[in-house]
Amino acid sequence: MADKHRKIVLTVTKTTLPDFDQFISILRRAWSKGYVTNNGALVQELETQLRQYLQSPLLWYCSNGTVVLQMAIKALQLQPGDEIITTPFSYVATANAIAWEQCRPVFADIDPNTCCIDATQITRHIGPRTKAILATHVYGLPCNTAAIDSIARQHHLTVIYDAAHAFGVHYQSQPLLQYGDMATCSFHATKLFHTVEGGCIVSHNETLHHTLELYRQFGHIGEEYSSIGINAKNSEVHAAMGLAMLPIMDGLIAERRQLFEQYRQLLQGLPLRMLQPEAIEGLQWNYAYFPVFFETESTTLRIRQALEAAQILTRRYFHPSLNTLPFYGPVQQCPVSEQLAATVLCLPFFNGLSSTDQERVASIIRNNC
């Protein structure tokens, strides 16, 4: 009886897990050697496969998508108080990484269509202490990379892309992770491609690649101690998950494309805004998220509450707008980001989401708009 009345909770994301036997058969290779971390065979194999899949020969597989941001900033060898122009519409990890390295995040407002940093807003924030631009490809949609590169070249700034959401995205015929001086990705269990916990960092010159290799493993290789470093290595258990996930990625992205189109049809005509990936020329997207933007914050919160009453969870991703957080220094104005942060809801969106659940979500939104 109890089961009959149990309410089903629909979560925002659900981790895709590979075939268990496949995972175990890969893991068994580490077991038989009794070697489970410290750049083992599975980590190296995953790294090789990721380099091929992402067409990024200078890539390191690491322990998460936050530490790779910290490594990227560390590699710039900045002074405390140096400034990095960044986006206010991202997960806190992006701005935290800047502050963690004792630099100051300077927030430039965003483009409402892509939710990424508005390249036209960057120049007016450049000052004598500006050293870099750290921009997020939000929801896997590309920043205006051409404009950002041109500004960076003109002002001698380094460009780092937080591509945590951008696994498998191609933009103008190359993987989005290939853009910028460095790009980072997260392989957290909530991400499209995951290794439970994990991440990677991509760079484009051998010297920088070697610096990042040292950072990843305490600053030494074997008995040769060369620099400071941190522990950003990942284990054989995590790599086994990645090796089991990678072959199924193209199929997962294709399925998400269908789910995305289905939501769009169900929500068409309602007073809300959805992403328009097809409006971005040269984009082959990964359908990582399904955010919707309502007209006001009160509508957003009302709909969130109505969905929660039906045991359907949403996420205000990203809220709050990072420029409003007091621990990054005096509040800087970013009205577009603040508006989007107040009105965004990411709807349940994951492989295996049923049509019935999509219809249920849409009908509650329709009845409360």
Ligand X SMILES: Cc1ncc(COP(=O)(O)O)c(C=O)c1O
Pick the binder of ligand X from 16, 46, 62, 65 (CB under 6 A): 65
Q: Does 136 bind ligand X (CB under 6 A)?
A: yes
Q: Say if residues 215 and 227 touch (Cβ distance below 8 Å).
A: yes
Q: What gap in Å lies between CA 106 and CA 65, rounded to an integer?
A: 21
| 45-53, 63-71, 98-106, 262-270 -> range binding ligand X (CB under 6 A) | 63-71
Residue 73 CA, chain-centre distance (Å), reads 17
Among residues 329, 333, 323, 334, which one has the least CA distance to residue 81?
329
Residues 340-359 binding ligand X (CB under 6 A) are: none
Q: Which is nearer to ligand X, 90 or 300 (CB)?
A: 90
Q: Least distance (Å) from ligand X to the CB of residue 318?
A: 8
Q: Say if residues 344 and 290 touch (Cβ distance below 8 Å).
A: no
Residues in the chain: 369
Q: Which is nearer to ligand X, 50 or 164 (CB)?
A: 164
Q: Which is nearer to ligand X, 42 or 232 (CB)?
A: 232
Residues 204-263 binding ligand X (CB under 6 A) are: none
Q: Which is nearer to ligand X, 314 or 358 (CB)?
A: 314
Q: What gap in Å lies between CA 369 and CA 357, rounded to an integer?
A: 18
Ranked by CB distance to ligand X, the top (closest) residue is 65
Residues 12-31 binding ligand X (CB under 6 A) are: none
Number of chain positions touching ligand X (CB under 6 A): 13
Q: Does 162 bind ligand X (CB under 6 A)?
A: yes
Q: Least distance (Å) from ligand X to the CB of residue 188?
A: 4
Q: What is the DSSP string of 287-355?
A: ----EEEESSHHHHHHHHHHHHHTTB--B-TT-S-GGG-GGGSS----HHHHHHHHHEEEPP--TT--H
Q: Does 96 bind ligand X (CB under 6 A)?
A: no
Q: Does 199 bind ligand X (CB under 6 A)?
A: yes
Q: Which is nearer to ligand X, 66 or 358 (CB)?
A: 66
Q: Does 164 bind ligand X (CB under 6 A)?
A: yes
Q: Which is nearer to ligand X, 144 or 234 (CB)?
A: 234
Pick the binder of ligand X from 39, 56, 94, 203 (CB under 6 A): 94
Tell me which H or E stretch contains 251: helix 249-267
Q: Does 188 bind ligand X (CB under 6 A)?
A: yes
Q: Give the N- to C-terminal CA distance of the chain in Å, as an integer.
A: 35
Q: Does 64 bind ligand X (CB under 6 A)?
A: yes
Q: Does 105 bind ligand X (CB under 6 A)?
A: no
Q: What gap in Å lies between CA 172 and CA 195, rounded to an integer?
A: 27
Q: Which amino acid is at 230?
A: I
Q: Does 203 bind ligand X (CB under 6 A)?
A: no
Q: What is the DSSP string of 268-301?
A: TTSSEEE--GGGSTTEE------EEEESSHHHHH
Among residues 94, 80, 74, which one has the least CA distance to residue 134?
94
Q: Does 338 bind ligand X (CB under 6 A)?
A: no
Q: Does 186 bind ligand X (CB under 6 A)?
A: yes
| 64-72, 232-240, 262-270, 329-337 -> range binding ligand X (CB under 6 A) | 64-72
Q: Which is nearer to ligand X, 94 or 358 (CB)?
A: 94
Q: Does 66 bind ligand X (CB under 6 A)?
A: yes
Q: Which amino acid is at 20?
A: F
Question: Backbone dihedral region of 282: left (phi > 0), alpha (psi from -120 to 50 degrees) or beta?
Answer: left
Per residue, what are the HEC states of 145-167?
Answer: HHHHHHHHHHHCCEEEEECCCCC
Q: What gap in Å lies between CA 32 and CA 24, rounded to an integer?
A: 12
Cross-strand pairs, 315? 346
Q: Does 145 bind ligand X (CB under 6 A)?
A: no
Q: Which is nearer to ligand X, 186 or 358 (CB)?
A: 186
Q: Does 361 bind ligand X (CB under 6 A)?
A: no
Q: Does 86 bind ligand X (CB under 6 A)?
A: no
Contact residues toward ligand X (CB under 6 A) are 64-66, 90-91, 93-94, 136, 162, 164, 186, 188, 199
